[in-house]
């Protein structure tokens, strides 16, 4: 359907921009290993969701085994990071582990539809509520919908990082630092990715 294609393109664009922003955050100086791991994980998920949401294009050309291997490895990495003793940002790592496993789930569903000659080649928007395991899909919808709401609440109360504007380097550097290093933006990224995951699961 035309409407499904439009939704797919809009979702792919939003997830792509978010993934690229998270990728850009890897360039920040003076960040911890845990923060860089989270940025890389969010970038991978955002760009992967963008590719998977495309009504036509990359999704059709990438074998399901590649998606499963990439996001299965990312899920294992995030879960290991989150379960390490005295791990920083444990909750975020575990959340990303669930997110990557959800990507594996969607890749398996798409591959199954493609094998049956269904609409899997048209991306997530082509599913039209006809695929997946309803109970698992419903549980993931509750999880990601709730997490997106939680991130929204945290975003309202997040610090604004106003001190960043006083750094030496002139207005350009201040704006660049604000765009890449503002403390509230990780909450915004996670909220957007949570909403995107909710929308993609809803299409199943």
Could you give phi then psi for residue 63, rounded to 5 degrees?
Answer: -60, 145
The pLDDT assigned to 124 comes to 57
pTM recorded for the entire structure? 0.79
pLDDT digits (tens, 9 = 90+) for 109-118: 888 877 776 5
3-state SS record for 1-56: CHHHHHHHHHHHHHHHHHHHHHHHHHHCCCCCHHHHHHHHHHHHHHHHHHHHHCCC
Whether residue 87 contacts residue 37, with contact meaning beta carbons closer than 8 Å, is answered with no
Number of residues that make up the chain: 204
Question: Are the CB atoms for 143 and 201 separated by under 8 Å?
Answer: no
> Of 8, 7, 70, nearest to 44 (Cα)?
70
Q: Residue 138: CB partners within 8 Å, gap ≥ 6?
A: none
Q: How far apart are CA 43 and CA 158, in angstroms?
A: 21
Identify the band that residue 71 occupies on the pLDDT scale cut at 50, 70 and 90: very high
Q: What is the pLDDT of residues 3-19, one digit of tens each?
A: 467 888 899 999 999 99
């Amino acid at each position: 359907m035309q409407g499904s294609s439009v939704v797919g393109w809009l979702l792919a664009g939003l997830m792509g921009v978010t993934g690229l922003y998270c990728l850009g955050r890897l360039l920040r100086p003076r960040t911890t290993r845990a923060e860089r791991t989270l940025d890389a994980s969010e970038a991978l998920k955002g760009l992967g969701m963008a590719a998977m949401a495309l009504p036509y294009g990359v999704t059709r050309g990438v074998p399901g085994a590649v998606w499963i291997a990439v996001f299965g490895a990312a899920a294992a990495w995030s879960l290991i990071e989150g379960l390490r003793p005295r791990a920083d940002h444990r909750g975020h790592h575990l959340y990303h582990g669930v997110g990557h496993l959800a990507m594996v789930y969607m890749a398996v569903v798409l591959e199954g539809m493609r094998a049956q000659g269904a609409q899997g080649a048209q991306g997530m928007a082509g599913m039209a509520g006809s695929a997946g395991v309803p109970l698992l899909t419903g549980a993931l919808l509750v999880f990601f919908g709730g997490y997106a709401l939680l991130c929204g609440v945290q975003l309202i109360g997040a610090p604004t990082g106003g001190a960043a504007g006083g750094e030496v380097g002139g207005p350009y550097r201040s704006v660049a630092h604000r765009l890449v290093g503002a403390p509230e933006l990780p909450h915004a990224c996670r909220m957007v990715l949570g909403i995107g995951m909710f929308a993609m699961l809803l299409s199943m």
